[in-house]
Structure 1
């Protein structure tokens, strides 16, 4: 190929690569806006006047409400034998409290759960994204019908709220007195709750309110930091139980609170890791308890504590969270909110002695849901006569219409005592059927946007393939393994089980890849048979150890792994490995700064590593003190910063890392080396390693020691040992091989650290390192680094690999006084690397979008495929564009400058 043609192809390839990487985010945006739309809602507030055929509504037993949310209150936290809610359990035994397990549908995060609780409807999955943006007001419920709006419309008192400021975002202008606290500062177990509790005594003395909302966050924060078995958990449960005692005592003694209904519940639960967002039994099973001395009239007096016989966190009766809205409507005397899909909990019907009153309440609830069916499918569905001969083949909606007409006829005809009992059971059955049908109803997808988004993603894929074809120095056959990876991955996205257990794909593919290149290069004889065999065996052994570090996915999420079996049970072993990891970083920093005076080199490396290590010890001592050994504690005592706060410690580490990285970058820009025997890119990788250790859980820190061993072994393939016959042997890994290796190891590292395709596995434990208050940009960045720490590490390691190839190109050109065509232009190999990665990213986006479209009516569309789409966004925009495209690209570019000057 002539130089002119090569230049034209290079320019065209660059333009196509840019176009592909612009099309990917555009495709994601268009598709997401069509896949996650808001569902249409019935406007206005419900009134009793709109439904008159059921007579006057019966008198409500309560006129005031205290509604207390204890974030992440899993059912066993209240009902099990080891619970800290001892006073609450005594109320259940006494009959003054009626307990339930409330089923929370996915996504199990705060905002959509509060929407379900207050409206009785099923929120959009998009709320899981809006839940992360505290500045968002587009999800407001100010104009929707909720039990809060109904209580305000009664004009019987003020509404007050203390706690999670999500309520203020959802209900702007609703509360007359309020003080919100941010729900995302998960490092705080006490202040967020104390800020709520301090208002309670004063509010209980006042009689100018009819609704008081309290939302406690500390228990959820403990779960995120230490899991459900954290030593802080029972202590927090006892604290919450004390608040319940305080409120119940006031209701029992203050005259103005005599008719107060006290409800406390969890908005969601948590899994065994302390996280939530997905659909595991622990996440979808929060407690729900109604409390009042008046409840003794129901004579429930249930056993407490009790057992969970099936291990699925189902205690007592199970109801839907949406059932709260119609139940509160009946108990407090207001109309059922218009968009409610919940059913009145029948256990409360005995409050009304007249059977006609009970049936009237149920019929009002059924009529309200009937209006939703009519709005969704047209009123004609209730007017069409159904032939008895085809009754067995009716759709769910036709069955609902037929059932409603039957209920209306039976109610209109009246009934005797036995008939009323049968009608009551029939109404309850119809409500549950309607709730099931409407809750599973497909979203109103914008199909043109779905297709347009997929078309843009396909265009990005085509552009990326052409960019690779016109920029790669490798042969077509070298792309066969990567093509197989892309195609297999694409097919896998159409199976929910494979999406949930995606880590196995990367583990086995990585293992097969290492075995393949080992056997291939053994046959080629590039290095000695012994060296090749040992290196391949070591790579495979390290990969096997890494994949067993954290059990992940869904099927075996709680199974044994290296962390659970060896590290959590042996803190001494844990800190030996953690200490070895920090010592390795210390030695790497000293080598990476060897161009500086020795006193300055050791001062910087030792001070920075010691600051990072003592922060991690202090962090773990606060987070999980049972994991900290006496030797680790001793480091805090001898360190002169022993009285420093965690925020100050983290900021010191971040500032030190930033300054040191800045110095290295300046040296590289000046085309000078800061190390005698190491590139600046390798030094930047070491600096990032210290950041990754800071943002990782202690149990995952030794993984980076294993990553480094893999990295050095792979460098043997890129830079084989020279021999007398071949003073400068060629690399045994082509650029495409390196790209494939980087792609595999980035994904393997993510899953090995405990990542999954479930929102519940997002680790927030290090999201607030150095952050004193909620700052979305800082928290988002720290969260990404904490969860993608290993993937980012391998992206930077990939830059080091390609710089090694570039260095070999220059040395080869110098030795032979020629430059090979394949490496004629510095950076062309890196462009091919990014283009090849873009092929995979674009292909994966196409596959995920196609799967979400084809399976949009699938049972698991909101629990499996929608979270996978969100993770695909994070991989495409965060890891690919920002990390591989920008961060690693800058490191590579700086490395090229440094190499040209050396």
Structure 2
């Protein structure tokens, strides 16, 4: 790029400000609030009096992330609950939870019976959000309260945000402080005895969070998982015993359920089988003797899972999570909510007499008919002949025909015809299930105006950025052609759901192709080409570190398969990673200060405090992952809390960063400078911070990155633009090799509360971003320093220890002319033009094109089957990459590092 062809900084910054505008405009149209029918439902007067409900009270016990196998598997800690199932006093199910498997949308599905919008997943993370309230919407909670009943709630404060003013007594706890396994649950349990003695409530809701927090911190196989299950089972026993013994609780139903499940990493949010398979158990002495019709009792009690599902999570019968709402409404004797899409669970109908069973299913069917008629005005119309229904042209017509047949059978049954109540119930259930399928699959009410405006802004931004880059390029180069091919391939890939799920393969292939091209270029320049080959070897290693994506998720890898059986190797590599950073700081850091020994001791203290915290962290979360030879360290630090240790490490790290800035600006260099550039020293402290925010099994990846960085610097023919392309590729490789995916379930919260005692959305948000984008942040931080050093090296500026050649001779042997033509002038050093603008322009080009491709795919595929499970999560990730990473890291943070390296030359 020639200097006269590059745009001004104001133009580049304006482009980067347009990117969030386009992203947010599109999001406003893509994630609208779904409208709900206002008011509360009432019973149909023509149907006669409602059946007498079998229960007057409800204890609704939600255990967050209670996956089906946690309750039903042989190694479960829920032994008392299993005994109730065997005794016939409990009805077990697997409740299918639709994506997104996040608490707020799942609570909405359980209470309204509807299918929440995907935007509810975002609102789940906003502690102060009030726009997602259900205070004015129809739910079984609102129906109970309208009848005169009182409600109490203890646990996850998501319920308080969704239902403000609904509860007579409540005590909420934040759902995001995942470091807390015990107090967050004890705060719920301490209210149980008092409430069981009270007789002034109709519904008691308890939402336990500890099991979910254990999953986020150390996965479903954590040593803390079974004890937590046993703790929850003791609470079930306590409540059920009270129901049997206390007279005022005899008509109480106890429901144990999970709002969602979790995957093998302990996370949730996506559509994996483990995430969508929470347990559901309804318990009461009144269930004694009930079992699915046509099944042998011994087989029912002894075989909770069919042989074909033995390796899965489908225990007993699977029902939709939305089916809970109409079933609870019937068992409590209140109308089904207007927005319900659930179907009354047939196995529970045996609590009523045959006539009442028909009444309940008719009520459910008519309520669904009202929604279907509102969605499809021609839905409830008589067809010209019965033959028409033999070959319906659509699912809507099939549902309409099923209604005609069901209501015809019902009329015959009422009039004493040769129709049994079983036939009527079967047809009503079949119609309701078909309605549920049709209405649940209706596309969201997109606002195409906002979507079009956002897409237009993004495409215009991308067009301007690309045109500016094209004008600056005088002839095709390897970097330009590679970036063009990479951008086009990425956009095309976004239109295929499988490629979106397996995006990591794209970046691994791109990285391999790019560094092989650099190898060929090195060979043509009569160099050995050893450095690119070495990088390819390291990349082959890191791509097997974490098996990510969907197709091979859970397959053997280094982090989750090899290291658990070789913990000595793991900690040897972790210590080697810390040693590499410390040696660089001790040998050539802080060389300007007269008391260098003191500063080196400080650097050593920084590294040791961070390493000590990671050892203590691992010892608490997964004791079996800490070798015996580190037990002395654990015992030495056991008197200090993890919060204190993390804060100590952070203070030391940020202190080192602050002093590096101070030294680079206010302490001039005297004589030949033999230390590292300030930006490099600064980067070492950044790396220590990133390590502190990383799972132990991924820490050795930073050692791999250090080796890649050293190899990049040794490629003599590497131009600054090629460094920019390399950094861009390595940012995405870094994200995926750490275990990142395009699924919400891969968001890792295990390090989001390091050093935090309570929930703070800003601090937790920053720590969550850093811990999940640690790999890309590393390259954003180091990329600017690598770029500047390469420019200065090629330009002959003495920005490194002087070689045996003079500066003039060194300059003659480097491609100074190419550097001058490639980078514009914003700063002059010894007559050589140096600027960060081309790097920012290149990054802006790619992220604008990439975001535009994702938005175009979401627009074109908005009616696709996987729009909410694949493309919508990808759009959320595109928002993070474009707004947070590109805007804050590549532009903002990178500029800071660039400035630091410039001050070092002073």
Q: TM-score, normalised by structure 1?
A: 0.94
Aligned-partner SS, 1:223: helix
Residues 333-372 of structure 1: per-residue CA shift (max 9 Å, x gap): 000000000000011111112x222111101001001111
User: How much has 1:635 moved relative to structure 2?
Assistant: 2.1
Distance 1:226 1:386 in 2: 61
Aligned-partner SS, 2:301: coil
Distance 1:586 1:116 in 2: 52
Distance 2:475 2:792 in 1: 18
Length, aligned pairs only? 870
Report the CA distance shift for 1:862/1:673 in structure 2 as closer, same or farther (over 3 A): farther
Unmatched 5+ stretches in structure 2: 799-806, 828-833
Q: Does 1:20 align with 2:15?
A: yes
Alignment of 1:560-599 (within 5 A): 560-590=556-586, 591-596=588-593, 597-599=595-597
User: How much has 1:853 moved relative to structure 2?
Assistant: 1.1
Task: Tell me which residue corresponds to 2:880.
Answer: 874
Aligned-partner SS, 2:436: helix
Report the CA distance shift for 1:573/1:634 in structure 2 as closer, same or farther (over 3 A): same
Report the CA distance shift for 1:242/1:270 in structure 2 as closer, same or farther (over 3 A): same
User: How much has 1:390 moved relative to structure 2?
Assistant: 5.1
Aligned-partner SS, 2:202: strand
Aligned-partner SS, 1:303: helix
Residues 480-502 of structure 1: per-residue CA shift (max 9 Å, x gap): 11100000011000111111011
477-486 vs 192-201, greater mean Cα deviation: 477-486
Aligned-partner SS, 2:172: strand
Distance 1:615 1:812 in 2: 41
Q: 1:69 aligns with which of 51, 57, 62?
A: 62
Q: Does 1:212 align with 2:212?
A: no
Task: Tell me which residue corresponds to 2:217.
Answer: 225
Alignment of 1:271-286 (within 5 A): 271-286=263-278
Alignment of 1:16-95 (within 5 A): 16-48=11-43, 51-95=44-88
Task: Tell me which residue corresponds to 2:433.
Answer: 432
Distance 2:835 2:472 in 1: 8
470-479 vs 875-884, greater mean Cα deviation: 470-479
CA contact (8 A) 1:67 1:213 kept: yes
Aligned-partner SS, 2:288: helix
Aligned-partner SS, 2:46: coil
Residues 637-663 of structure 1: per-residue CA shift (max 9 Å, x gap): 45xx54211111111111111111111
Aligned-partner SS, 1:568: helix
Task: Tell me which residue corresponds to 1:135.
Answer: 128
Distance 1:473 1:686 in 2: 37
Q: Does 1:702 align with 2:687?
A: no
Distance 1:299 1:280 in 2: 29
Distance 1:589 1:148 in 2: 60
Q: 1:859 aligns with which of 842, 854, 865?
A: 865
CA contact (8 A) 2:260 2:278 kept: yes
Task: Tell me which residue corresponds to 2:518.
Answer: 517
Q: Does 1:196 align with 2:193?
A: no
Distance 1:773 1:412 in 2: 60
User: How much has 1:56 moved relative to structure 2?
Assistant: 1.1
User: How much has 1:292 moved relative to structure 2?
Assistant: 0.5
Task: Tell me which residue corresponds to 2:109.
Answer: 116
CA contact (8 A) 1:796 1:888 kept: yes
Task: Tell me which residue corresponds to 1:178.
Answer: 170
Distance 2:141 2:674 in 1: 68
CA contact (8 A) 2:155 2:208 kept: yes
Distance 1:671 1:458 in 2: 47
User: How much has 1:299 moved relative to structure 2?
Assistant: 5.2
CA RMSD of aligned residues (A): 2.0
Report the CA distance shift for 1:522/1:387 in structure 2 as closer, same or farther (over 3 A): farther
Q: Does 1:544 align with 2:540?
A: yes
Task: Tell me which residue corresponds to 1:256.
Answer: 248
Q: TM-score, normalised by structure 2?
A: 0.93
Distance 1:579 1:844 in 2: 38
Report the CA distance shift for 1:295/1:271 in structure 2 as closer, same or farther (over 3 A): same
CA contact (8 A) 1:262 1:291 kept: yes
CA contact (8 A) 1:90 1:304 kept: no
Q: Does 1:833 align with 2:828?
A: no
Aligned-partner SS, 2:379: helix
Task: Tell me which residue corresponds to 2:678.
Answer: 680
Alignment of 1:384-533 (within 5 A): 385-386=383-384, 391=389, 392-413=391-412, 414=414, 415-416=416-417, 418-471=419-472, 475=476, 478-525=479-526, 527=527, 529=528, 532=529
Task: Tell me which residue corresponds to 2:732.
Answer: 747
Unmatched 5+ stretches in structure 1: 721-731
Task: Tell me which residue corresponds to 2:153.
Answer: 161
Q: Does 1:337 align with 2:322?
A: no
Task: Tell me which residue corresponds to 1:315.
Answer: 315
Q: Does 1:242 align with 2:234?
A: yes
Report the CA distance shift for 1:749/1:857 in structure 2 as closer, same or farther (over 3 A): same
Aligned-partner SS, 2:256: strand
Task: Tell me which residue corresponds to 2:328.
Answer: 328
Q: 1:765 aligns with which of 750, 756, 759?
A: 750
Distance 1:889 1:497 in 2: 36
Distance 2:461 2:544 in 1: 36
Q: 2:658 aligns with which of 662, 672, 676?
A: 662
Distance 1:19 1:397 in 2: 49
User: How much has 1:764 moved relative to structure 2?
Assistant: 0.3
Distance 2:474 2:718 in 1: 13
User: How much has 1:19 moved relative to structure 2?
Assistant: 2.8
Report the CA distance shift for 1:308/1:771 in structure 2 as closer, same or farther (over 3 A): farther
Aligned-partner SS, 2:62: strand
Aligned-partner SS, 2:319: strand
Aligned-partner SS, 2:565: coil
CA contact (8 A) 2:409 2:419 kept: no
CA contact (8 A) 1:474 1:734 kept: no
Report the CA distance shift for 1:308/1:841 in structure 2 as closer, same or farther (over 3 A): farther
User: How much has 1:473 moved relative to structure 2?
Assistant: 7.8
User: How much has 1:401 moved relative to structure 2?
Assistant: 2.3
Task: Tell me which residue corresponds to 2:896.
Answer: 890
Task: Tell me which residue corresponds to 1:648.
Answer: 644
